Structure 1
Amino acid sequence: MKKIFLSALAISATILAANAQVDLVKKASENATEAANKGFHFTNLIDLSTTPIENQGSSGTCWSYSANSFLESEMIKNGGDPIHLSKIYTVRHAYMDKANAFILMQGGLSWGDGGEGHDVINMYAKYGAIPESDYTGLVDGRKINRFGPMQKVLKNMLDSVTKIKGQIDPLAWKAAFKKVLDDSLGVVPQSFQYKGKTYTPETFAKEVVRINPDNYVEFISQNTTPYYKKAMMMASDNWAYQWDYNITPTDMTDIIDNALKHGYTVGWGADVSEPYFSWPNGVAFVPKNALTLEGKNLTRDEKAAIYNGDKTEMQITPENRQEGLEDYTTTDDHGMHIVGLAKDQDGKEFYIVKNSWGVTNQYKGFLYVSKAYVQYKTTSMLVNKNAVPKSLRRKMEL
């Protein structure tokens, strides 16, 4: 009975992880109110070029949508075509690599849809890229991602392989795993046409995307390890066990400001589960009473009062930021894409953020996020190292 219960629990956890970000969208929508952002009025100051908003559907693939959107803007900045890269091409290669790590670690690895921005860079470096028009990951007439059934099969397969403990040919389980991906997402084309020329994923990356993966660096912020040195990203979705540069909360916004000023966008991972993050109304900030609000299930009227009330923000310090990481009020929820800078009605600066939940909110898929929110709730940042201020580059020897 115990073994059966644990197996069922593992399957349930996998399905929940696959739909976690969709649940966040639904929860936010249920709490939506037209009055909630009446107190905010934004004027855009910097609005960098991006590809159109997409929808990740019922899949925890925000990391691929956001970081690939980031690469698409890098292409545009470099004079390239504004095209959508295939997010699911990145995803399926990450799943194959993660599955191999899962088996090698005998199941001692978090499994699910999730990943990090650095996975997109790593997969691009290893496997190249494909235009989304040539690999959508949608089969059998499906219009939107739905990963729950696929993930249930994959997790059961991996659990079975780990129980056998080396008694199965690695080539056999990998072929079976790939077959599930092929059936669920479609077979990856070995070559494809783009503007009348034939490419492979590798040649497309080299000749069309033309981005050097060595140019990208990821940042975290924690006060438990030395600043300006590399440290482990302590997140369950960091299945690659990536080490990133550790910086202060104010360094994060300094880097973003410098990047935007010089035409670079930023890949952004953050906690979006707080009652003062409103996706329907397109605003996130840190009210001065944020600590009393975290973890509470507020009514629509209570949530509206946050946005219509005092907009004085809580002062962010390394200490209260770290406390959020350690008591799980700051969690690695979602990947997004910072694409611009704006000011509100009081002249306070907010970042313009591109999301991957479709165009159903107040700002048609975008939202405005305060600098205090970024300093407080960021879990990681991905940026072109050339966008980092020279003083910080010297500290980290970038």
Structure 2
Amino acid sequence: MKKPFIYVMLMATSTIAFSQSYQFKSLIDLETTEVISQGNTGTCWSFSTSSFLESEIMRLSGKHIDLSEMYNVRQTYPRKAWNYVMRQGMAQFSEGGLAHDVINSISQFGVVPNEVYTGLQETEKKHDHSEILGDLKPILDAYIKNPTAYRGDWKMDVEAVLDAALGKQIETFVYEGETYTPQSFLEMTGLQIQDYVSITSFTHHPYNSNFILEIPDNFSNGSYYNVALDELVQITNEALKAGFSIELDCDVTETTFSSKYGLAVIPEDKKIGEVALKAITKEKEITPEFRQQEFENFNTTDDHLMHIVGMVEDQNGIIYYKVKNSWGKHTKKVPNDGFIYMSEAYFKLKTISIMVHKDALQPSVKNNLNL
């Protein structure tokens, strides 16, 4: 058993010795807000989509507004609870969500700045939702088990838990000397929520169609436009070149996705692991068939959402996406400090979907998707 291990180590050492350390040059760097941390929560979907919309506000109006991530979370939990109850517990009830859940929340409830709704209690400095599900789920399960025996109103009980954990609903607030409702504040931002579309690429549905993506966090049955894999890459590249940032839903469970190194790659040889994060190595060619296989065997899941804000290239001319994460800035000096440089190979294999403003799409794409 020792010989294969020694062989792998020798190959890894050889790879380091003869490979080049990464050197990046910025190609596109779109305006965005600062990297922040989602804390101890599973709400990356709200942090990433809020960041995406903050950049959209900058693009549309030049305004710099720090949107409240927790306001969207607060509005979405009752919808999750309703879905779980009406499916009699035969559905996922978790902290997870998707980009369109933020869009759905804003469409109905508007949007507010972070300074008026932080989702933090007076003594809290960072988000910690470790107890929210434990407080909510027994309420829902008790009602599902015997609705007629449940004392009180389960919906009101859910609202009480959320009020205590995140804060009560907001009807009006003052921002920069003006009084707003969440709906009038949305109008002020210039965002037209109906203009954002979700796009994916899978072979189990026809291309240029739209379908409800079969992933656990899609509790709200969001619909996605389906395009060929190369077209998904082209849409992303053309959007960035035109000044549009992109919301990204992807899998970050690969050992070669690293916030420590600020890098995400798919080496051709999976055995080299961390070596590929230290030096340029040949990456695997990603086909639609392999992408579909990894999705169907659960190696690719919808476990994290982030925000694509630019493009860089290494010294060999290989393109990477500059991806804004929500795990905070590092206390120690590390590459990219909260951003990830994601290779095209990683993007092609591990992307679940993107969200983008429809104006970023080429006329041919709009025509094919009937937009």
In structure 2, the CA distance between the partners of 1:308 and 1:345, relative to structure 1 (3 Å rule), is same
Q: Which residue of 2 aligns with 1:332?
A: 302
Residues 44-55 of structure 1 correspond to what in structure 2 (within 5 A)? Answer: 44-55=26-37
Residues 216-365 of structure 1 correspond to what in structure 2 (within 5 A)? Answer: 216-290=196-270, 293=271, 303-309=273-279, 311-360=281-330, 361-365=334-338
Residues 127-142 of structure 1 correspond to what in structure 2 (within 5 A)? Answer: 127-142=109-124
The separation in 1 between residues aligned to 2:122 and 2:132, in whole angstroms, is 14
**TM-score of the two chains, using structure 2 as the length reference:** 0.91
| Residue of structure 2 aligned with 1:215, choices 171, 195, 202 | 195
Q: Which residue of 1 aligns with 2:161?
A: 180
Question: Secondary structure of the residue that 1:70 maps to in structure 2?
Answer: helix
Aligned residues of 1:128 and 1:201 also touching (Cα < 8 A): yes
Q: Which residue of 1 aligns with 2:353?
A: 380
Aligned residues of 1:73 and 1:265 also touching (Cα < 8 A): yes
Aligned residues of 2:22 and 2:280 also touching (Cα < 8 A): no
The separation in 1 between residues aligned to 2:218 and 2:359, in whole angstroms, is 24
Q: CA deviation at 1:102?
A: 1.2
**Residues 158-178 of structure 1, C-alpha deviation per residue, up to 9 Å, x if partnerless?**
111111135548x81111111
**Residues 91-137 of structure 1, C-alpha deviation per residue, up to 9 Å, x if partnerless?**
01111111111111111210110000111111110100010011000
Question: Secondary structure of the residue that 1:350 maps to in structure 2?
Answer: strand
Q: Which residue of 1 aligns with 2:3?
A: none
What stretches of structure 2 of length at least 5 have no aligned partner? 1-15
The separation in 1 between residues aligned to 2:317 and 2:148, in whole angstroms, is 62
What stretches of structure 1 of length at least 5 have no aligned partner? 1-34, 294-301
Q: Which residue of 1 aligns with 2:369?
A: 396
Aligned residues of 2:61 and 2:190 also touching (Cα < 8 A): no
Structure 1 letter corresponding to 2:312: A
Aligned residues of 1:249 and 1:376 also touching (Cα < 8 A): no
The separation in 1 between residues aligned to 2:51 and 2:202, in whole angstroms, is 26
Aligned residues of 2:311 and 2:319 also touching (Cα < 8 A): yes
Structure 1 letter corresponding to 2:324: K
The separation in 2 between residues aligned to 1:234 and 1:285, in whole angstroms, is 26
The sequence identity of aligned pairs, in percent, is 37
In structure 2, the CA distance between the partners of 1:362 and 1:166, relative to structure 1 (3 Å rule), is farther
**Residues 268-314 of structure 1, C-alpha deviation per residue, up to 9 Å, x if partnerless?**
01000001111110011111124xx5xxxxxxxx5432234552111
Q: Which residue of 1 aligns with 2:185?
A: 204
Q: Which residue of 2 aligns with 1:115?
A: 97
**Residues 371-398 of structure 1, C-alpha deviation per residue, up to 9 Å, x if partnerless?**
1111110011111011112221111111
Aligned residues of 1:87 and 1:132 also touching (Cα < 8 A): yes
Aligned residues of 2:256 and 2:274 also touching (Cα < 8 A): no
- Report the more deviating stretch, 346-355 or 306-315: 306-315
Question: Secondary structure of the residue that 1:101 maps to in structure 2?
Answer: helix
Aligned residues of 1:316 and 1:375 also touching (Cα < 8 A): yes
Question: Secondary structure of the residue that 1:368 maps to in structure 2?
Answer: strand
Tell me if 1:149 matches 2:149: no
Number of equivalenced pairs: 351
Question: Secondary structure of the residue that 2:27 maps to in structure 1?
Answer: strand
The separation in 2 between residues aligned to 1:168 and 1:394, in whole angstroms, is 52
**TM-score of the two chains, using structure 1 as the length reference:** 0.85
The separation in 1 between residues aligned to 2:218 and 2:285, in whole angstroms, is 29
Spell out structure 1 runs of 4+ moving beyond 4 A.
Answer: 166-169
The separation in 1 between residues aligned to 2:161 and 2:245, in whole angstroms, is 35
The separation in 1 between residues aligned to 2:112 and 2:122, in whole angstroms, is 21
**Residues 193-243 of structure 1, C-alpha deviation per residue, up to 9 Å, x if partnerless?**
11111111111111x222111101001211111011012211100000112
